[in-house]
A and B are shown apart, each in its own frame.
Chain A
Amino acid sequence: GEDVEQSLFLSVREGDSSVINCTYTDSSSTYLYWYKQEPGAGLQLLTYIFSNMDMKQDQRLTVLLNKKDKHLSLRIADTQTGDSAIYFCAESIRRSQGNLIFGKGTKLSVKP
């Protein structure tokens, strides 16, 4: 089956690291994505990782993939108030004719 799970809320203090977790069920997923959505706006692609990779780092963002456990995480270093948003995990499955399967999103609140 196709399902992506995320916790709904995360609250951190400015300057701390944030870790947003995601689990997925389809082992045939080829690419996994992290999107950011600010209030009243569309989704912005933050980063992605190919399923044969364990880790990808891009400036303050680190993506970790545990394919055995079907677990994906996004770490944001030195979290800023501008990072407050909803973060969506998504998987790309060849069989599903082009559809990305999204989690319900994790709302990150950053306190000053």
Chain B
Amino acid sequence: DGGITQSPKYLFRKEGQNVTLSCEQNLNHDAMYWYRQDPGQGLRLIYYSQIVNDFQKGDIAEGYSVSREKKESFPLTVTSAQKNPTAFYLCASSAVPGQGAGTEAFFGQGTRLTVV
């Protein structure tokens, strides 16, 4: 089945450690996105990529890094520079970056990261 898969579902990290969240899609979508969700905050964009080997910072990119070496994959690394990393992280993909219906974003099931 086509879809977007995030792993792991739950992740625990010790303070000072980097951790990488996986996002894979088999929808043949060009664009991929990472969002952070905190209670009462809605979704905030961390990074997005419209094409392989290219990505752009979103609204809250500090303390995060990404790569886009393959069309299917857009991993997010939460670095030790991120001061408050405990949150729910959502990955999404779309066919064409926000240009119309049929290009709506499809979301993964999320990864809940907790710093211990």
Contact = CB atoms under 8 A, between A and B. Distances in A.
Interface of A: 8, 30-31, 33, 35, 40-45, 48, 50, 88, 92-94, 96-100, 102-105
8 contacts: A31-B101, A45-B104, A45-B105, A92-B104, A98-B50, A99-B58, A102-B35, A103-B42
Contact of A102 (B43, B48, B50): B43
Query: 3 nearest interchain CB pairs?
Result: A98-B97, A104-B42, A42-B107
Interface string B87-116: 000101010111111001111111010000
Contacts of B48: 97-99
B108 A104 contact: no
B97 to A, nearest CB: 2
Contact residues on B (Cβ < 8 Å of other chain), bracket: 20 to 34
Contacts, number: 71
Nearest to B91: A42
Nearest to B41: A104
Contacts of A103: 42
